[in-house]
Amino acid sequence: MKYKDNKGGISNGEISEGGIKMSFSVSSLIPISENFFWIGSNDRTTDLFEAIWPLPHGISYNSYFLADQKVALIDTVKDDTIDQYIEKIKHLSRKFGQVDYLIINHMEPDHSGAITILRSIWPQIRIVGNARTAGFLKEFYGITENIQIVQDTEEISLGKFRLKFFLTPMVHWPETMMTYEAVGKVLFSGDVFGGFGAMEAGLFDDEVDLAYYEGEILRYFSNVIGKYSSSVQRAIEKIKDLDIRLIASTHGPVWRSKPREIISRYNHWSRQEAENGVVVVYGSMYGNTKKMMDAAVRGINSQKIRNIRIHDISRAHLSYLIQDAWKYKVTLFASPTYDAHLFPPMAQFINMLERKGLKNRIMGIVGTYGWSGGALKPLHEFAEENNWELVEPVVEAKCSPTEEDLQRCYQLGQNLARHL
Ligand code: FEO
């Protein structure tokens, strides 16, 4: 099966793509190969994914239509993008017949949101998932009938297409699984290998600007999937011997040119390996902690380190801080004391890093206090509990840093840089 042959054409006054006559009311229906279509949606109106993570470039919910003697859908879309989704299924069903199976790789509502309406229109659809999927179907939607439970490595034949299921729990929920189509060698991987960012003009890795998506894929990984790194490692191990020609995840580009590249990136991030570079996260109410941060950054820069990303924690969203902390080997924390404790946004940042389970990084600490102090203790505890190597000197200034304090910050910057 070829994946480079979905170019459109005009014959007898009709526009076709992948052998199917196009209807412009369903123009976001994209042929992938013969009888295999992307029918997902591009959401450019939701501001926050999971009501937490910003979506400045939107997000795609990828769903797929496989037509054979039996017709199958793979996953669905979020409920507020359903209208066009249903139109696309109706359009394809007129040519290929009604849907027999709905394969649910993942029950999070950004992918299961259309199940209820699908069943109300086409009650014959048989939902395929594992035992954990069945629990969520009942608990989220009250669905208890017409469900086919599959076991790990079980197969379903659609005719020529053969679907094999691989249970990959906790990437990202307990029921998550992957579906491998053995003839076209397609891996429907669920959230794994996905990313933020609505698809713009293209869908495939070779027809979009991957540099544009790269940061959004890492941000998605670090914000949403990274906590489950060890499960991602188990999943990658489980699929390592599959011959994969195309990766069709639930978010972001479909990888047909370089499917191994996205596996390799996810492997790198889920092993929690880092690139050389420093992320600097500072909070400063009156500029004194910022002075110390600036001196430390000059020290880092003096060692010819150029990958330095500076975030004002009062203004940058946590999402981006986590992304950079995941990416780079070294983090510099610069925090004043507030209410005899860590500056509140910094406390939230280290709390989220702990929850995401990021280990084995290198860190430095600078900070200020007015009378009692208290900011540094939680940062020391964070280092110890999460196996982050703390580089000396830790510098804490009373009220405003002295020249000697700033010299020590500069020295800390140089010491951090020497770890790269
Ligand atoms: Fe895209 Fe875990 O949902």
- Is residue 337 packed enough to be buried (19+ CB in 10 Å), middle (13-18) or exposed (0-12)? buried
CA of 74 to the centre of ligand 1 (A): 14
Distances (CA, A) of 366 to 342, 395, 397: 12, 5, 8
pLDDT over 70 (residue 323): yes
Which residues have C-beta within 8 Å of that of residue 179, sequence separation ≥ 6? 74, 103, 105, 163, 164, 165, 166, 187, 188
Closest residue CA from atom 3 of ligand 1:
108
pLDDT over 70 (residue 417): yes
* Residues 256-272: tens digit of each pLDDT: 999 999 999 999 999 99
* Residue of 330, 347, 316 whose CA lies nearest to 391: 330
pLDDT of residue 80: 78
pLDDT of residue 12: 37
* Residues 108-135: tens digit of each pLDDT: 999 999 999 999 999 999 999 999 999 9
CA of 371 to the centre of ligand 1 (A): 46
* Residues 352-394: tens digit of each pLDDT: 999 999 999 999 999 999 999 999 999 999 999 999 999 999 9
Q: Is 49 helix (H, G, I), strand (E, B) or coil?
A: strand
CA 215/CA 233 separation, integer angstroms: 21
Helix count (H) and strand count (E) of the chain?
12, 26
CA 75/CA 69 separation, integer angstroms: 19
pLDDT over 80 (residue 420): yes
Residue 95 vs residue 13, higher pLDDT: 95
Residues with CB under 6 Å of ligand 1 are: 106, 108, 110-111, 172, 191, 250-251
- The domains found in the chain, sorted by start residue, are 13-270 (3.60.15.10), 278-417 (3.40.50.360)
| Residue 398: strand pairing partners | 369
Q: Which atom of ligand 1 is nearest to the CA of 251?
A: 1
CA of 115 to the centre of ligand 1 (A): 15
- Two tokens at 51? 């009501």
- Across residues 23-39, what is the average pLDDT? 81
pLDDT of residue 8: 41
Q: CA 66, 251, 253, 116 torsion: positive or negative? A: positive
- Across residues 154-165, what is the average pLDDT? 97
CA of 105 to the centre of ligand 1 (A): 10
CA 119/CA 78 separation, integer angstroms: 15
pLDDT over 90 (residue 19): no
Q: 10 Å Cβ neighbour count for 326? A: 24
Q: Which atom of ligand 1 is nearest to the CA of 172?
A: 2
pLDDT over 70 (residue 70): yes
Q: 10 Å Cβ neighbour count for 156? A: 19
pLDDT over 90 (residue 23): no
* Residues 269-309: tens digit of each pLDDT: 999 999 999 999 999 999 999 999 999 999 999 999 999 99
Contact 369, 315 (CB under 8 A): no
Which residues have C-beta within 8 Å of that of residue 46, sequence separation ≥ 6? 55, 58, 59, 78, 80
pLDDT of residue 200: 75
Displacement of CA 383 from its chain's centroid (Å): 26
Q: Which atom of ligand 1 is nearest to the CA of 191?
A: 1
CA of 389 to the centre of ligand 1 (A): 33
Which residues have C-beta within 8 Å of that of residue 167, sequence separation ≥ 6? 130, 151, 152, 177
Q: Which atom of ligand 1 is nearest to the CA of 224?
A: 2
The owner of tokens 């795609």 is 60
pLDDT of residue 301: 98
Q: Which atom of ligand 1 is nearest to the CA of 225?
A: 2
CA of 79 to the centre of ligand 1 (A): 13
